[in-house]
A = this chain, B = another copy of it.
């Protein structure tokens, strides 16, 4: 979906794409069903393709089901059929079956987003994550309830969350070590302690303090203890939205996919609290997937879809940023962006900031 090409497509191609989109949720569920019953996997392994009868004999789906699914998948260019009526995967089908990122995004859409997005309009009109009521009518945001989600939904949510953050932690830490060799790192919104653990592994002389809500600290503390890093990691139970009094001893203030959970006024409060105490020469490092810094249009598409996940499901008001938006938020709180490190793991960029005078 190269945007740069879109101006040049013919009216015929454009109407075909419009009609494809009108049927796309149906094609999406078709592909999900074929994957779930291992049909894409069977086709991927069959060098000479498989006939409908062969697929029937290897599957728990009956011939009627397989036939309607495969015909739709053929129209959607997921499978192809040769002159002897043998089915095989197209290249698109191959990536749906085998590409890790595509599968993680696909499962996130299926198990976390699909039903909830039928309430996107309601969410944006009421400024509330109305889609979340698909899981529980009483939940106001998703964050305190992650562990209560249905199993498949939980697995898909954490798969998606970890894909972006965990692939970026090590390259980000290596960059921080190279540039700053910090002694004290504050991990703001440290969550389960994943970043703190990687930090301790890679920076042997560094101490980390995890700042998070009291309810989060307990889980993080367990993880840190289980990883034998008790003497390397401190904890500060704090609500960053309440304009807390902080200590200023950190060399690095680290935030990974943290600010994207908040509205602009919240972000202003969080950064301002840090601005008040940050010592000279210290840096704020903000890791985020930034829509306009992606090499590939498909990556930009899934980041923009992620923004709408915040709208419809997570909290109703936050979003992923563009470069200009995040820069403005940083500057408004009394910082400046010294540099931006792109392509850290999957889709992430690190904004390295210092205080403005």
A213 to chain B, nearest CB (A): 24
Whether A76 and B23, one on each chain, are in contact in the complex, defined by CB atoms closer than 8 angstroms, is no
- Please tell me the number of chain A residues within 8 Å of chain B, measured between CB atoms: 86
- Bitwise, A110-124 to B at CB < 8 A (1) or not (0) is 000111011011001
Cβ contacts under 8 Å, A297 to chain B: 16, 75
| CB contact between A7 and one of B26, B80, B118 (< 8 Å): that residue | B80
Q: Is A291 in contact with chain B by the CB < 8 A criterion?
A: yes
Those of A1-54 within 8 Å (CB) of chain B: 1-3, 6-7, 9, 11, 13-33, 36-37
Interface residues of A in 248-303 (CB under 8 A from B): 291, 296-302
* Given A16-B1, A76-B301, A102-B22: A64 touches B30 (CB 8 Å cut-off): no
Please give the count of copies of this chain that the complex contains.
2
The DSSP consensus for interface residues of chain A is: helix
Interface residues in A155-184 (C-beta closer than 8 Å to B): none
Contacts of A77 in B (CB 8 A): 1, 3, 6, 17
Interface window among A66-74, A191-199, A332-340: A66-74
* A135 lies within 8 A of chain B by Cβ: no
Interface status of A60 (Cβ within 8 A of chain B): yes
